[in-house]
Structure formats: structure tokens, C-alpha cells
């Protein structure tokens, strides 16, 4: 189980790095489009075609790991929800 968890964390780390790269590419793409450099912006077409699937895969992996790490509380929990106290106003 520990080996599987390590593999999942390595996959998530890799996925995070890929999304960071996508973020940089989108920033560069935005800059190119603002300058009107449409031909230069076309190099990003292929990565944009797979962006939805890439992000969804990352979110699925993240959700899986988080659900294993922090299971949902039971519906019949005996602990009341904690609320943040608001500061008193004089």
C-alpha cells in the first residue's frame, strides 16, 4: 500500500508540474494574442485541444488522493461543526 501511495504521489507531482507548464503556456499564448501574433499563437493549438482532458485527469487524481487522505466525515458525526468566531465590534 505504501508503494502504491508513493506512486500516486509521484503521479500527482508530475501532474502538478505539467499543469504549471500549461499555465505558463497559456500566459504566453495570451500575450501573443494581445500582440496580434496569431501565427505564432497557433503552435499552442494541439495543447489546447487536450487541455480539458488533461485538467480533468489531474482533478480526478487529486480528488482520489485527497479522499484517501481525508475521508468524508460520517453523516451522524457527534462533533458539531466548528464555526469561526467573528470578532466583536464595539
Average pLDDT per consecutive 10 residues, the chain (90 residues; last block may be shorter): 83 88 89 92 85 90 83 64 55
Domain count, the chain: 1
The answer to whether position 87 is within a domain reads: no
Question: In this predicted structure, what is the pLDDT of residue 83?
Answer: 56
The answer to whether position 56 is within a domain reads: yes
The answer to whether position 78 is within a domain reads: no
Question: In this predicted structure, what is the pLDDT of residue 70?
Answer: 75
The answer to whether position 42 is within a domain reads: yes
Domain containing residue 56: 2-69
The answer to whether position 77 is within a domain reads: no
Question: In this predicted structure, what is the pLDDT of residue 9?
Answer: 84
Q: From 57, 27, 58, select the one nearest 44 (Cα to Cα).
A: 27
CA angle 22, 13, 62 (to 5 degrees): 85
The answer to whether position 79 is within a domain reads: no
CA 11 from centroid of its chain's CA atoms: 13
Question: In this predicted structure, what is the pLDDT of residue 87?
Answer: 54
The answer to whether position 9 is within a domain reads: yes
Question: In this predicted structure, what is the pLDDT of residue 84?
Answer: 55
Task: Give pTM, 2 decimals.
Answer: 0.60
> DSSP string of 14-44?
HHHHHHHHHHHHHHHHHHHHHTT-HHHHGGG
Give φ, ψ of 74 to 5 degrees: -70, 155
Amino acid at each position: 500500500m505504501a508503494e502504491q501511495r508513493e506512486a500516486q504521489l509521484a503521479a500527482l507531482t508530475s501532474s502538478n508540474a505539467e499543469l504549471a507548464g500549461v499555465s505558463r503556456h497559456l500566459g504566453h499564448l495570451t500575450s501573443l494574442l494581445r500582440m496580434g501574433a496569431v501565427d505564432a499563437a497557433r503552435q499552442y493549438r494541439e495543447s489546447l485541444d487536450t487541455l480539458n482532458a488533461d485538467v480533468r485527469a489531474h482533478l480526478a487524481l487529486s480528488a482520489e488522493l485527497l479522499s484517501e487522505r481525508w475521508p468524508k466525515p460520517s453523516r451522524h458525526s457527534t462533533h458539531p461543526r466548528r464555526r469561526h468566531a467573528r470578532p466583536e465590534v464595539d
